[in-house]
Amino acid sequence: MLEAFLLLAAALLAVGLYGALSQQSVVMVMMGLELMLNAVMVAAAAVWFHTSPHSADGQLLVLAAMLAMAVEMAMGFAVTIAIFRARDVDVTDSAGDLRG
């Protein structure tokens, strides 16, 4: 059963990676990152249950992934707002372009 959960996590991570690599818009890139963190949560929960249920480390890893997701979202949106306000773009390719 652990293998099945890890396969699910691997599939979610791959889908998220595809999105994060291929999308141009900052918000869509963030959605890819969220899917990858989702995969981390599933994997951490499954590994906790099957290999080390006596310690809470697996559960804490799920919480850490959730926290990372929230911070990533809040900061991602804040930076996007700041860039958008200054430059009127929300596309990663243009944000890397340093000329104003």
Partner 1 sequence: MDSFWPALALFAVASAGVLGLYGAAALLSVGEPLVREPYMGGSPVSEHAVSRFHVRWYAVTLLFIAFDMEMVFMYPWVLVVAEKGMHAVGEMFGFLAVLVAAVVYAWREGAFRWT
Partner 2 sequence: MAEWTVFVVCAVAAVAAGAAVFRVDSMARATFALLASFVFTAVPVLLLDLAYLGVLIVLMMTMEMVVMAVFMIMFMMNPAGLMPMTMVHNTKGALAISIAVFCVLAAGALLVPWPRESAPPPADPTLQLGEAIMGDDMLVMMVAGLVLFATMVSGVVLATGRGRYDRYGDDLRGRPDDPIRGGVGR
Chain positions 46 to 85 lying near partner 1, rule: CB under 8 A, are 63, 66-67, 70-71, 73-74, 77-78, 81
Residues numbered 26 to 85 that lie near partner 2 (CB under 8 A) are 26-28, 30-32, 34-35, 38, 41-42, 45-57, 59-60, 62-64, 66-67, 69-71, 73-75, 77-82, 84-85
What per-residue string of b and e applies to 21-41 under the rule 16 or more CB within 10 Å gives b?
eebeebeebbebbbbbbbbbb
**Choosing among partner 2, partner 1, none, which partner's interface includes residue 95 (Cβ < 5 to 8 Å by kind)?**
none
Total chain residues near partner 2 (CB under 8 A):
71
User: In angstroms, rounded to a whole number, what is the distance separating the alpha carbons of residues 81 and 20?
Assistant: 19
Q: How far is residue 60 CA from its own chain's centroid? A: 17
CB of 100 to partner 2, least distance (A): 18
User: CA-to-CA distance for 12 and 91, rounded, in angstroms?
Assistant: 24
